[in-house]
Amino acid sequence: MVDVIITGESGKLHAVYHKSEQEAAPLAVILSGSPRQKCHMNDRVSYAMFRAFMDIGFSVVRFNYRGVNDSEGSIGTTAENMLDIATVIDWIQNKNEDSDKIWLAGHQLGAWYVLQAMMRRPEISGFALVSPDPSVSDFGFLSPRPNRGLLLQGMNEGDEATAFGVHLTQVLKKQAQIDLETIRVKNADCNYSQAPDLRQMYNDLKAYVGRENSDDKLL
């Protein structure tokens, strides 16, 4: 993996990129949580998501939104962060023109960004939502977009998060015709603070993506 600089709408975006040795390997973009909650591309969960895709042969990139660490600009709004995400998706696709699959994975607020990006990018092959932020419940942007993805939550996230996961599954199925598989990690909180919990999240994500990608089930 190497550090790269991607030219964004508000300046340079700092990213880390792994290029797969496999010809025409599938692609993945990792979306960290809210910068205002100190999330960034090198936090534990973002790195674990990155390694899950990397270790099953994907070309994958993770990055800092504008205003975060070495990315230029000021911390952005949702609309501005979505512009950064679009820039990074375009960048990895341009670097890998022979690849025909691209996945998105996001943690907390990044999970909500995953869904927004998927609605805007018909080429998205699959996605993973890791402990989505239950305080973000505006899903008016969803429209029919048949696909399938994974919802990962920790069992110690609490009743609100569990109920939100059920609600999110129903909303995605009804509004977007999306099949969402749910895995709950025993003893984990939303940040997978203990090493065994983070390892289990990594293993579950890797197993799901590996299975769905190899079986070519995605629409």
User: Which residues on neighbouring strands pair with residue 102, listed in sequence order?
Assistant: 27, 124
Q: How far apart are CA 142 and CA 101, in angstroms?
A: 21
Per-residue confidence band for 57, with pLDDT thresholds at 50, 70 and 90? very high
Q: Residue 215 has what pLDDT?
A: 59
Q: Model-level pTM? A: 0.94
Looking at the chain, the whole-number percentage of residues with pLDDT higher than 90 is: 76
Report, as an integer, the average pLDDT of 156-172. 92
CA 107 to chain centroid: 6
User: CATH number, domain at 149?
Assistant: 3.40.50.1820
Structural contact between residues 82 and 138, judged by C-beta atoms closer than 8 angstroms: no
User: What total number of domains does the chain contain?
Assistant: 1
Q: How far apart are CA 185 and CA 66, in angstroms?
A: 31
Query: 167 pLDDT exceeds 60?
Result: yes
Q: Residue 219 has what pLDDT?
A: 39
Return the number of other C-beta atoms located less than 10 Å from residue 213's C-beta.
21
Eight-state DSSP code of residue 131: S
Looking at the chain, the whole-number percentage of residues with pLDDT higher than 70 is: 98
Range of the domain at 27: 2-215
pLDDT digits (tens, 9 = 90+) for 4-47: 999 988 899 999 999 999 989 999 999 999 888 888 999 999 99
Report, as an integer, the average pLDDT of 208-217. 78
Q: Residue 218 has what pLDDT?
A: 44
Q: Residue 216 has what pLDDT?
A: 57
pLDDT digits (tens, 9 = 90+) for 60-112: 999 999 999 999 988 889 999 999 999 999 999 999 999 999 999 999 999 99
Q: How far apart are CA 211 and CA 204, in angstroms?
A: 11
